[in-house]
Amino acid sequence: MLTILRKIVESVSSADSLTLAMQNLVMKTKDALGVDCCSIYVRDMSSNLLQLLATDGLDQKAVGRIALGFDEGVVGLVARTLELINLADAANNPNFKFIPGYGEEQFHSFLGVPIVDQGILLGVLVIQQKNPRKFDEIDESFMVMLAAQLAGKFLEVKLKKEMAILGKSSSKTITGLPVSKGLAQAKAFVMRPPLLLENINIEKCEDPSIQSELFHQSMFQVQLELDHLMIKLSQSTSSNNSQIFEIYNMILNDQSFVEAIDEEIFKNGIMATSAVKVVCEKYISKFKTLKDDYLKERAADVKDIAQRLLSKLAHSQVEFYDFSKPVILVADEVTASMLVELPRSSLKGIISCKGSVNSHAAILARNMGLPAIIETSDTIDQFDDHYIVMDGTTGTIIIEPDNAIKEEYEQLIETENNLRQIAEQELYQTAITLDKQQIYVELNAGMNSELESKGNFVDGVGLYRTEIPFMLQDSVLTEQEQIKNYRDFLISFKDLPVCMRTLDIGGDKQLSYLKINEANPALGWRGVRLMLDNRPLFMSQLKAMLKANIGLGNLKIMVPMISSCKEIEDTRKLLDLAYKEVKEELDLTDEQLIYPQLGAMIEVPSAVMLLEDLSKITDFFSVGTNDLTQYLLAVDRNNSRVANCYDPYHPAILKTLDYIYKECTRLNKPVSICGEMAGDYLGILLLIAIGYRKFSMNLSNIAKIKYLLRRIDISKVKQIVDQSGLTNINAIRISMRNYINEQNLTNFVLNK
């Protein structure tokens, strides 16, 4: 058998074309195993369909015509599970999908194996037999070994084919992890993080006067930034801080410091960044040699000034770029602040070489409705100045595509825009299902974008992530700044409930000015824990929220990462105190200062087990499925190595969500869902089947989800879930997809 196997593999690798190689493969495998049919399905990375590439047994007409989704047929089952499937009578399997006209009816037994390379499915190899019998272990091991050997060869042949195409054009295709759906094509704008002082190279420049101008602008900005910091610091503490900034002011106002940098730029013809390095390093070493300990320590201040100058100089990258044309943002690690820094109208997509599905940047991309791909395992340099097309559904990126591909993408983007426009026509309609039940669709907000504050297209705001504005700034927001933010937002959604979440910092949501170094950040000092330890910060936020709500009354407050009753009790005490202080400070009556509802996020397993106790001290619950998935499955939501284990449709999650709903109904406590699952078509349908009726989701999902909800029948959705049971997600997925198909909704929910 091993000799036969080797021969088959050799014939595949020596073939001149992929088609020929695959034809050889199916013919030789069929003969070697003495079966009636052998076929190979290859995954098309752009459509994510399994296309029949070669067959010896089925009608040849089927080649290139049969294309199966991962949730279609037994072949789809192999692709989904990445497991060998051996069936005596495939037609009796619930997954079986009969495609008439290609002669498949004559075959009963089925054996399919996945072809996988580095965890990525490339195709499925199938053998079939007319008489209904299970294939034996020898057949199984032959197929498994063949698939394993093919994975490498397969790639080689495919690559040869792609190289042939690449020979004619200069395009390059790479893949990454798709995290936000949609298509985009534009020039890449590669954004680099500010350089570290120690990593700067001394580089020559072409035009010293431009470099000098950039340097002077940066000086001015750093000065402004520091003035701002000083004012804030004096507002938040009573002590005299002027000493802290003594050296900063001294250096920034020191003419010889400025002249020294200018001299480096003009005399030596070097970049502004290089000149900053040369001069600042001289200052740093001078300070370090001083005898006075206090002054010695000031070397760190000089370093900070240098770093701030470098950051401003890197920022000029954005300032001087021509954003009149669309761009796709590429960065080693896209951050939330990068996303807001670029003009929204020109930003068409995001590529982050590092990252994870539920990192904040990915959530923000989905929030902004921008296609995003992460984990490209390539360096950013290869994107520099190149035109790219990207598909956020499959994770495909083509650098310098040829005209045919560009045109194809243009058409696809147009179709996508048309579908979005169709859905948006009903944006302001209520989400009432065919069987006349109302589903409450709320917004997840925090970006403070213009669109977010358009008000009445939703039934409220289920989650306002207050940490986002904190993440986008260089320092903590003052109480006044917070009041302004919150009040503007509450006014935009006047008459609708707005649920503001108290700061959820820590974990993956780090503030640049509050670095927390922990071995296990997700299990560390984050959310309510951090806030209860930082009472002034917590109090200033609670007071800002209460003040912002005066005369409006639509504020609700929600606390993240609750894992015990004590955390809610302590928060309640602070809220009571904040209420009392604001009332006294502004001389208000009980009627004038409304005491808001206080809710708990259910996202830590212990909170699930405490629902009854928590229900006595809270007014509502909101389930955060993103963290609940992370903590229930013990899978870091930001670790790409275990991304395949991060599964919100895991039976344990679905059963927990079912339990939470039942408990809340028994306790008569309002509950809603605000994790990413609510914005996914399968997620929301499943949750509706469980019983949930209130969901909060990203702006970009609202129109599509409302359009879907207005065209489904809850009794039918419930029937699908009840029939399969919550533990059989594959069966639910297939039946739900069929139902979506019947309702002509496939394009709206599956392809985008």
Catalytic machinery residues: 360, 674
Collapse the DSSP code of 35 into the 3-class scheme (helix H, G, I; strand E, B; otherwise coil) and give the result: coil
- Does the protein bind Mg ion through residue 624 (CB under 5 A)? yes
Closer CB to ligand PEP, 465 or 752, in the complex? 465
Cβ nearer to ligand PEP, comparing 54 with 336 = 336
| C-beta of 215 vs 631, nearer to Mg ion | 631
675 touches ligand PEP (CB under 6 A): yes
Residue 578: φ, ψ to 5°: -60, -40
| Residue 30 vs 509, nearer CB to ligand PEP | 509
Task: Report the residue number, 467 or 603, with the smaller CB distance to Mg ion.
Answer: 603
Contact between 674 and ligand PEP by CB under 6 A: the answer reads yes
- Name the residue whose CB lies closest to Mg ion: 627
CA neighbours closer than 13 Å in the CB half-sphere of residue 528: 24
3-state helix, strand, coil in the chain (%, to 5): 50, 15, 35
| Distance in Å, CB of 517 to ligand PEP, minimum | 20
CB closer to ligand PEP, 15 vs 559: 559
Q: Could you tell which of ligand PEP, Mg ion, none binds residue 174, using a CB distance below 5 to 8 A set by kind?
A: none
Kindly write down the DSSP assignment for every residue of 144-193, as one continuous string: HHHHHHHHHHHHHHHHHHHHHHHHHS--EEEE-EEEE--EEEEEEEEE-P
User: In the complex with ligand PEP, which residue's Cβ is closer, 139 or 603?
Assistant: 603
Q: 277, 312, 386, 465: which one contacts ligand PEP (CB under 6 A)?
A: 465
Going 221 to 223 to 229 to 235, the CA torsion angle's sign is: negative
Per CB under 6 A, the segment of 42-50, 402-410, 618-626, 740-748 that binds ligand PEP is 618-626
Tell me the window of 195-203, 237-245, 621-629, 643-651 that interacts with ligand PEP (CB under 6 A).
621-629
Which residue from 484, 514, 441 is spatially nearest to 694, judged by alpha carbons?
441
Residue 704 C-beta: closest distance to ligand PEP, Å: 19
Closest CA to 711 of 743, 750, 689: 743
From 41-49, 185-193, 546-554, 623-631, give the range in contact with ligand PEP by CB under 6 A: 623-631
Question: Which residue in the shown chain puts its C-beta closest to ligand PEP?
Answer: 624
Q: How many residues bind Mg ion (CB under 5 A)?
A: 3
Between 559 and 721, CB nearer to ligand PEP: 559
| Residue 630 to residue 616: CA distance in whole angstroms | 27
Q: Could you tell which of ligand PEP, Mg ion, none binds residue 567, using a CB distance below 5 to 8 A set by kind? A: none
Tokens of 22: 């695959």
Q: How far is the CB of 600 from ligand PEP (least distance, A)?
A: 13
CB of 628 to ligand PEP, least distance (A): 7
Q: How far is the CB of 603 from ligand PEP (least distance, A)?
A: 5
The first and second tokens of residue 643, run together, are: 């991304």
What is the spatial distance between Cα 465 and Cα 444, in angstroms, rounded to a whole number?
Answer: 8
Q: In the complex, what is the shortest distance from the CB of residue 58 to Mg ion, in angstroms, rounded to a whole number?
A: 49
Nearest distance from C-beta of residue 463 to ligand PEP, angstroms:
6
Residues pairing with 358 in the sheet: none
List 598's β-bridge partners, or say none. Answer: 557
Single residue of 72, 264, 627, 658 touching Mg ion by CB under 5 A: 627
Length of the chain counted residue by residue: 752
Which listed residue (149, 211, 352, 626) binds ligand PEP by CB under 6 A? 626
Within 564-623, the residues that bind Mg ion by CB under 5 A are 603
The residues pairing with 559 across neighbouring beta strands, listed in sequence order, are 600
Stretch that binds ligand PEP, among 287-295, 510-518, 619-627, 710-718 (CB under 6 A): 619-627
What is the Cα–Cα distance from 504 to 509, expressed in whole angstroms? Answer: 7
76 contact choice in ligand PEP, Mg ion, none (CB below 5 to 8 Å, kind-dependent) = none
Q: Look up tokens 């929204």; give the residue.
A: 344
636 binds ligand PEP (CB under 6 A): no
Minimum CB distance to ligand PEP, residue 516 (Å):
16
- Give the residue, chosen from 335, 625, 700, 735, that forms a contact with ligand PEP under the rule CB under 6 A: 625
For residues 137 and 135, give the distance between their C-alpha atoms in angstroms, rounded to a whole number. Answer: 7
For residue 338, the Cα-to-chain-centroid distance in whole angstroms is 15
Instruction: Number of residues interacting with ligand PEP: please give it, by CB under 6 A.
Output: 10
Of residues 603, 636, 663, 680, which one binds ligand PEP by CB under 6 A?
Answer: 603
Q: To which residue do tokens 């921008």 refer?
A: 370
Token code pair at residue 505: 């910092």
Which residue, 309, 334, 61, 38, is CA-closest to 188? 334
Cα separation, 739 vs 717, in Å, equals 8
Q: How open is the CA angle 522-673-516, to the nearest 5 degrees?
A: 20
- Tell me whether residue 269 or residue 524 sits nearer to Mg ion (CB atom): 524
567: contact with ligand PEP by CB under 6 A: no
> Of the two residues 41 and 695, which places its CB atom closer to ligand PEP in the complex?
695
Q: Please give the full DSSP string across 420-487, using - where no structure is assigned.
A: HHHHHTTTTS--B-TTS-B-EEEEEE-S--TGGG--TTSS-EEEEETHHHHHTSSSPPPHHHHHHHHH
Q: Which stretch binds ligand PEP (CB under 6 A): 79-87, 143-151, 383-391, 620-628?
A: 620-628
627 binds ligand PEP (CB under 6 A): yes
SS3 label, residue 318: helix
Nearer of residues 465 and 694 to ligand PEP, judged by Cβ: 465
Report d(CA 646, CA 630) in Å as an integer.
7
Binding partner of residue 675 among ligand PEP, Mg ion, none, CB under 5 to 8 Å per kind?
ligand PEP
If one asks whether residue 114 binds ligand PEP (CB under 6 A), the answer comes out as no
> What is the Rg, in whole angstroms, of the alpha carbon atoms belonging to the chain?
30
Chosen from ligand PEP, Mg ion, none, partner binding at 674 (C-beta under 5 to 8 Å by type): ligand PEP
Name the one range near ligand PEP by CB under 6 A: 66-74, 169-177, 266-274, 624-632. Answer: 624-632
For the stretch 709-713, contacts whose Cβ atoms lie closer than 8 Å and that sit 24 or more positions apart, written own/partner, are 709/431, 709/432, 709/433, 709/439, 709/441, 709/684, 710/426, 710/429, 710/431, 710/432, 710/433, 710/434, 711/434, 711/743, 711/745, 712/433, 712/434, 712/685, 712/739, 712/743, 712/745, 713/433, 713/434, 713/435
* Residue 624 makes contact with ligand PEP by CB under 6 A: yes
Q: Does 680 bind ligand PEP (CB under 6 A)?
A: no
Q: Which residues between 491 and 530 bind ligand PEP (CB under 6 A)? A: 504
User: C-beta of 527: minimal distance to Mg ion in Å?
Assistant: 8
Binding region for Mg ion (CB under 5 A): 603, 624, 627
Contact set with ligand PEP (CB under 6 A): 463, 465, 504, 603, 624-627, 674-675
